Amino acid sequence: MQKTIGIIGAGLSGLTLASVLHRHGIETIIYEGEASATARSQGGLLDIHEDSGQPALKAAGVYDAFVDIVRAGEDAKRVVNSFGTVLFDAPGNRTSTRPEVERGELRALLMASLPNGVIRWGRKAISFFRLDGGRHRIAFADGTSATVDLLVGADGAWSKVRPVVSDATPIYAGTCFIEIALGADDPSNAASIAAIGDGTMMAVAPGKGIIAHRHADGSVSGYVALNRPEAWGHSIDVDDTRAGLSFVAQQFEGWAPHLAHLITGSIAPPTIRPIYALAPGVAWPRVPGVTLVGDAAHLMSPFAGKGANLAMLDGAELAQAIVDHPDNIEAALSAYEAALFPRSRDIAQLSADNLTLFFSDAAPRSVADLFAGLLNG
């Protein structure tokens, strides 16, 4: 294929797409607005599924390298109530079919699979202009532009490419996350860290929760979750860490001290992460020369644990469709989207349902029953 393929965004979906195409001798250009690969933190652990993320990594030729970065045994799950009583406890499985990896390490692995120069850092796309024959001109914030035969939006939740094909916009899901973290060496953290177990602990109640993961070095990262109006986060003093965390901790009055300490003892600035999602079932008519992958196509909450896996599968399947239709971009995009729409609709609905279940009036028993069902299913 001699067509120019421009991918907007160097996240997991865009990198997988470029990597699989590169293995088939089809080169791409990834335009990324951030200045470098280390411009910001890449988040925490991901469990990579055997029916989606793992096949995508195999298609990209990086599966063996992926196995080397797996955090064996860190898939342990524990559900507790506000008093710290354990309601569900599953130990880590070192041979799990859904092993956990750090998102940043996985992203670095995919980047390493690409030739130098494929990723153009500091190229923030701000607008797109439709040209003849399905081509698009990309305008960048630095005043430059580029023309591509195939435009792929892999640019996440607030995609600039999405409006080219759809008027769908993310909707606040009703839940706000606030980041927390504990160091491994502070003795005052010992009881809180021990309560987490070897993997992830979910302390939940109606409308709220604390989700914390213990890493192999003993450190902890995670989130406080609160069902609050979208503007509620403005009440948190993000410039004064102690004051901000104290305000968040007030929302957990009466909880066990070792659980509350996950908030009051946090060393992370109280960064606010409102949860947004696209409505399940987002689809668009075939627009010549452009499509979406990952969160740009189907932003969802993290409560199905499938977003990153689906993003990588999107990239791999789009790449395979292009390989299967080397002289017909439109046929490739039609084939890709025909599978994408129903698959993403079902997973997005599951994610929305699980978010509701997590902090419903039936919590925490609803969460314990959810994980028990997954373990036995």
| Rounded Cα distance, 285 and 339, in Å | 14
Q: Which residues pair with 150 in a beta bridge?
A: 5
How many C-beta atoms surround the C-beta of residue 291 within 10 A? 27
Contact 14, 275 (CB under 8 A): no
Contact 301, 5 (CB under 8 A): no
Give the SS3 label for residue 13.
helix
The annotation status of 343 as a binding-site residue, yes or no, is no
Contact 292, 165 (CB under 8 A): yes
How many C-beta atoms surround the C-beta of residue 240 within 10 A? 13
- DSSP-derived secondary structure letter, 261: H
Q: Which residues pair with 290 in a beta bridge?
A: 151
**Where is 253: in which H helix or E strand?**
none
The annotation status of 47 as a binding-site residue, yes or no, is yes
Name the residue type at position 14.
G
Tokens for 93, please give them. Answer: 């499985």
| Rounded Cα distance, 230 and 227, in Å | 9
Tokens for 312, please give them. Answer: 């990588």
Contact 333, 293 (CB under 8 A): no
The annotation status of 162 as a binding-site residue, yes or no, is no
The annotation status of 345 as a binding-site residue, yes or no, is no
| Rounded Cα distance, 3 and 28, in Å | 9
| Pairing assessment for the beta strands 29-32 and 119-121 based on DSSP bridges | parallel
Q: What is the CA radius of gyration of the chain?
A: 21
- Residue numbers in the known binding site are 40, 47, 103, 295
Binding-site residue positions for NADPH: 40
**Residues in binding site for FAD:** 47, 103, 295
